[in-house]
Amino acid sequence: MAFFDFLWDLPRYAGKARSITRLNKRYDFLITPYADEIAGSRVLDLAAHDGRWSYALSSAGATEVLGVEWRPELIAQFDAYPAGDAKDRVSLIQGDVYLAIAQLVAEGRTFDVVSVYGLYYHLMDHYGLLKLIKQLEPRLIIIDSEFYLSPEPAVRLQLEDPTNKLNSIEHEPGQEQAPVGFPSRAAMEMMATSLGYDVTWADWETVPEDQREGIFAYYRPEPPHWKRRATCALRPRVTA
């Protein structure tokens, strides 16, 4: 049984077989490779949505998972998750990730692992977020994002609808579209390196072509596409 198969029993995921399949395949790249580093760690999960990845991180052995989510209606959906130790170790708070991290830093909080799943391409201040995260002193930052398919260290902008629960929250009342940025891999590496992190990219090509249903975003061809999803791990650089 794959990890997220328990979602079949939740009304919210009824009829969403493709979504559950996609979550299970992503689990193999977002949780499994880092299981030893997650176990026994304090984890901060940014843009936690309904807590699905917070729950997965806790189930992987984290001693504490704090999830930050802007939309309270999504946080409320975590109540339906299976009761038990894994759920008990998860706390979800409502707030903007930038403000929440700043508050955690002010309180002297630190985290061993920070997960940034599906958030990094709904932002404009990517570097500002990384600088805040660094103040939490993590030994591992996992980022799963859409990246601009350019060899240059660049960020491509796009407008998106902020009323969509999966999109940006950075907008003014009544604003119909909000700008967001898609950094290239080179831009990701430049930002991380400047802050003292080494970057390791997950090899999604290891998934056989006949097993890529639901995860096309990680394999978009260029052309015609200009972005592709990818996963990377940031760890503090070890100096001799």
3-state secondary structure of 222: coil
Q: What is the mean pLDDT of the chain?
A: 96
pTM: predicted TM-score of the whole model, two decimal places: 0.96
Rounded CA separation 97/81 (Å): 23
User: What pLDDT is recorded for position 176?
Assistant: 87
Q: Given the structure tokens 């802007």, which residue do they identify? A: 70
pLDDT in tens, 167-216: 888 777 888 899 999 999 999 999 999 999 999 999 999 999 999 999 99
Rounded CA separation 85/164 (Å): 32
Please classify residue 33 by burial: count the beta carbons closer than 10 Å to its beta carbon, then call 0-12 exposed, 13-18 middle and 19+ buried.
Answer: middle
Q: Given the structure tokens 């894994």, which residue do they identify? A: 86
- For the beta sheet containing 90-94, the strands, ordered from the edge strand earlier in sequence to the opposite edge, are 90-94, 64-69, 42-46, 113-117, 140-148, 227-236, 197-201
Fold topology of 3-236: Rossmann fold (3.40.50)
How sure is the predictor about 238, in pLDDT bands with cuts at 50, 70 and 90?
confident
Rounded CA separation 141/130 (Å): 9
3-state secondary structure of 34: helix
User: What pLDDT is recorded for position 117?
Assistant: 98
Rounded CA separation 114/103 (Å): 16
